[in-house]
Structure 1
Amino acid sequence: MKWIANALVALVMTGSVHAETILATGDLGLVVERASGSLLLVDQSERKMLTRISGLGDLSHASLVYSPDQRYAYVFGRDGGLTKVDIVERKIANRVVQSGNAIGGAISDDGSLVAVSNYEPGGVRIFDADTLDLVADIPTGSKTIGLVDAPGKRFVFTLWDDGETWIADLSAGKPQITKVTGVGTNPYDALVTDDGRLYITGLFGEDGLTAIDLWDDNPKPIRVLPEYGRGQQEMPVYKMPHLEGWARAGREFVLPAVGHHQVLWINADDLTETGRTETYGQPVFAMSRPDGRQVWVNFAHPLNDTIQVIDTPSKEIIHAFKPGPAVLHMEFTPRGHEVWVSVRDAGKVMIYDTHTFEKLAEIDAESPSGIFFTSRAHKTGL
């Protein structure tokens, strides 16, 4: 954007940024360093770290979203901190501690609002993206999970304690709340499809998943795979699966099973099961390469040193390897030619070619976890 180019010129003229370090923001990303409360600003093409940004508090379960222009990152810390980071000036632009315990957030489709999901005191709080001033406080009396953005300046989230999904519409200013009850027992995480239509939440306390059609004027819960789950079998769960990095591979969804050594394949049109792939361990992330041809899976402790790659047409594992101890997260480059992998206990981010599986580079990092490229700025729900 023209204003970014002008801003960069001004920064060079004032000495705020050295000319040799100026890069387009579309090629950048941030890596969460969970142990030190810091972020690494990285360059995808150069496969290197540019700088470290510190002072972000407790990042033990941190996530972030980007402004539409890819200049600002909004970081959601476990300590309730909401931090706005300027990746052009490479510094914290603003920070507020808005709760005692937070668990992720989202940015509205127009980039004007940032919402934070809270465990303590529960509920969702919504802030002005420019100033971080509080715009709305939505108490729920419950831990909130699965907070995503949806088209039309809406946020969707689910209540762990009450088994409800709430849709908050802020298009007219004051939030208008639609409540969908009967979602299920202890929903633990959720995703929204890239067209913003279907919201799917996983259930921890009973079998199956629940979908909600956000295009419906009177949305109702739609039960998915009622015969699958942990509820009746009481399987031990070593780490909750994550649905935010969900995989859509062609005409199917691929979701990590709760407490099982499996990923589940679901027809995206009618939400029926199309298959299961047996895996090395309990999946945490099942993530699709951008073209949908492969699904990459990592696993819960104690089997978290391994990644398996599944071929979408055959649903079979075609490659497995061990990057190192505690593989926490994967992030594909926008067109999927590379994948970046955080290996927490090795203190490394490792970069692989997704066609040859060759390791191309590695970057030192302090207990790295989430990896977030700025291309996420243009994707619903990410």
Structure 2
Amino acid sequence: MIRRTNSFDTLKIGTLCSLLLAGTAWADAQSDYAEHCASCHGENRLGGVGPALIPETLKRMRGPRVASVIAEGRTATQMPAFSHELDALQIEELAGWLKSPLETDPEWGETDIMASRTLDEDYTPVDAPAWDSDPMNITLAVETGDHHVSVLDGDTFEVLDRFETPFAVHGGPKFSPDGRYVFIMSRDGWVQKYDIWALKQVGRIRAGLNSRNIAMSGDGKWVAVANYLPNSLTLLSTKDLSVAKVIDIKSKKGVPSRVSAVYQAPPRESFVLALKDVPEIWEVFYGDNPPQFGLGHDFRIEGQFKNPNSFPVRKITTPDYLDDFFFDQSYEYVMGASRDGKGGQVIDLVIGQKVADLDLPGMPHLGSGITWRRGDTTVMATPHLTDGTVSVIDMETWETVKRIKTEGPGFFMRSHENSPYVWADVFFGPNKDAMHVIDKQSLEIVKTLRPAPGKTVAHVEFTKDGRHALVSIWEDDGAVIVYDAQTLEEVRRLPMRKPSGKYNVWNKITFSEGTSH
């Protein structure tokens, strides 16, 4: 943690508030930004060498934290300290201005996106992997402490490479169907293509200004980027990172909306979008043959099939806002929930309407939901962001089978078809150092692991065969812990800089049971 200097502590809050309310404070802050910050972060605060400095990208950093970074810099990055160039009041004013909204919504269309694209001149494709590991058992570990990814051999856990990513990776990397390439997205819209065989970056492009996540098409030809700012969906060619299409997100009534998330639905040859601001879900098709649709229900298709790069859009009205999704195994049904709601709903994509309600209080995190066979049925389980509960739902009846009481709200769940257990973290609250291991059949917690007392322990990924489970100590001086997935004994610790998600190639490209899709 960065400590604030005494000059910050002695600053009178009343005086500061008065100054911040005055127009001169903003004017002075803008002048200081132009002199000290614009060369890295862009004249319009939308990013350059450094990340965008706008409320959408700074929302997790409170004002004092922003001020501390300005004053003292950020270790292991190119962000310098400015406490010698700016006094305490100037820094507070600048931090306040950076947290203020932009005067106008910026545009970021196809021309801007393509102008940002860079392809690495020293990258040369290879005919075979430059290493001897099993290419299907490679695992990527995202290290948010210094914005890198470690490439791990899933058998030996040797680090094959450690490469730099864009600032603040978000939403989970996506692999090409053959597992060779991975696409990684940052909060400020940069998409990076990396060749795992060659252990080389291929290139980068900025697909949006504030983005949520990416999805890979089932045929591996397209990457869809969900954007908050601007309100758009950007479709990129995976071959060369060129723009295939930018779709403005407006409801049937013309109301703009942010895109909360985008997911692929491989059997339907489509992307499905969760919208933040309108009660609709969208389906964007990339294939030539549209799936069957029901008749007489409230949806609209805009665009033409079999028209190259048309990407026709289907807009489905929903009874409530849905900004988090989970699919059944057939990809016919979407289980959705609103971050502000007290439950969920099931939408049938064939007929385009709600067919069931879900009893899911406590803000379910459906994006981390998983499924497995329990007896003669399939169940789905999800953690909750505001309730210490894991909900288990029967995928045939949509009824809640059980609510498993945990030691606090969780964020991630994982399992594997070869494991008898589900792993669920306790990401929020005083028991953030706990990791629950739950029996798939009895739905009882069989063990609670505490590998780093007092520290955040979160996110599990399995190796290809399910023999090992990898757990993050989500701290700057953290580690990835390798567990024997059967005995639950620790095997090894790999020191890392605030490791967050881990992603195994085989589990992700095969949609392995127990993996969030």
Over residues 14-35 of structure 1, what are the superposed CA-to-partner deviations in whole Å (9 max), with x where a residue is unaligned? xxx4xxx333321212111112
Large movers: runs of 4+ above 4 Å = none
Q: What's the counterpart of residue 135 of structure 1? A: 244
Over residues 46-98 of structure 1, what are the superposed CA-to-partner deviations in whole Å (9 max), with x where a residue is unaligned? 022111111x2212434111011111001111110111011111121010011
Q: CA deviation at 1:254?
A: 0.8
Alpha carbons 2:139, 2:463 under 8 Å: kept: no
Alpha carbons 1:41, 1:52 under 8 Å: kept: yes
Q: What's the counterpart of residue 7 of structure 1? A: 127
Matches within 5 A, 1:123-272: 123-140=232-249, 141-150=256-265, 151-171=267-287, 172=306, 173-185=309-321, 187-214=322-349, 216=350, 218-226=351-359, 228-230=360-362, 242-250=365-373, 251-272=378-399
Question: Do the aligned partners of residues 372 and 242 (structure 1) sit closer, same or farther apart at CA in structure 2, a change above 3 Å counting?
Answer: farther
Q: Which amino acid aligns with 1:313?
A: Q
Matched, 1:288 2:424: no
Q: CA deviation at 1:329?
A: 1.5
Matches within 5 A, 1:306-321: 306-321=434-449
Over residues 74-126 of structure 1, what are the superposed CA-to-partner deviations in whole Å (9 max), with x where a residue is unaligned? 11111101110111111210100111111111111111111111111122111
Q: What's the counterpart of residue 103 of structure 1? A: 212
Q: Which amino acid aligns with 1:209?
A: G
Instruction: Measure, in 1, the Cα distance between the counterparts of 2:177 and 2:192.
Output: 17
Matched, 1:297 2:424: yes
Q: Which amino acid aligns with 1:249?
A: W
Instruction: Measure, in 2, the Cα distance between the counterparts of 1:34 and 1:294.
Output: 28
Instruction: Measure, in 2, the Cα distance between the counterparts of 1:271 and 1:52.
Output: 43
Unmatched segments (≥5 aa) in structure 1: 12-16, 231-239
Q: Which amino acid aligns with 2:465?
A: R
Matched, 1:34 2:144: yes
Question: Do the aligned partners of residues 260 and 274 (structure 1) sit closer, same or farther apart at CA in structure 2, a change above 3 Å counting?
Answer: same
Q: CA deviation at 1:156?
A: 0.3
Alpha carbons 1:62, 1:370 under 8 Å: kept: no
Over residues 240-270 of structure 1, what are the superposed CA-to-partner deviations in whole Å (9 max), with x where a residue is unaligned? 7643332212111111134211111111112
Q: Which amino acid aligns with 1:178?
A: R
Q: What's the counterpart of residue 79 of structure 1? A: 188
Instruction: Measure, in 2, the Cα distance between the counterparts of 1:332 and 1:195.
Output: 23
Matched, 1:48 2:158: yes
Alpha carbons 2:151, 2:162 under 8 Å: kept: yes
Alpha carbons 1:113, 1:126 under 8 Å: kept: yes
Alpha carbons 2:423, 2:435 under 8 Å: kept: yes
Q: CA deviation at 1:143?
A: 1.9
Q: What's the counterpart of residue 478 of structure 2? A: 347
Higher fraction of strand: 1
Matched, 1:367 2:498: yes
Instruction: Measure, in 2, the Cα distance between the counterparts of 1:147 and 1:192.
Output: 12
Number of corresponding residues: 354
Instruction: Measure, in 2, the Cα distance between the counterparts of 1:224 and 1:322.
Output: 36
Give the % identical residues: 25
TM-score by structure 1 length?
0.87
Q: Which amino acid aligns with 2:261?
A: G
Shifted more, 126-135 versus 167-176: the winner is 167-176
Over residues 257-284 of structure 1, what are the superposed CA-to-partner deviations in whole Å (9 max), with x where a residue is unaligned? 3421111111111211111111111021
Q: CA deviation at 1:223?
A: 3.7
Q: Give 3-state SS (helix, strand or coil) of 2:173's partner.
A: strand
TM-score by structure 2 length?
0.65
Rg: which structure is higher? 2
Q: Give 3-state SS (helix, strand or coil) of 1:26's partner.
A: helix
Question: Do the aligned partners of residues 38 and 241 (structure 1) sit closer, same or farther apart at CA in structure 2, a change above 3 Å counting?
Answer: farther
Alpha carbons 1:34, 1:62 under 8 Å: kept: no
Over residues 172-202 of structure 1, what are the superposed CA-to-partner deviations in whole Å (9 max), with x where a residue is unaligned? 33111111212423x3421223433322222
Instruction: Measure, in 1, the Cα distance between the counterparts of 2:504 and 2:139.
Output: 4
Calculate the aligned-residue CA RMSD, in Å: 2.1
Alpha carbons 1:203, 1:210 under 8 Å: kept: no
Question: Do the aligned partners of residues 241 and 64 (structure 1) sit closer, same or farther apart at CA in structure 2, a change above 3 Å counting?
Answer: farther
Question: Do the aligned partners of residues 60 and 82 (structure 1) sit closer, same or farther apart at CA in structure 2, a change above 3 Å counting?
Answer: closer
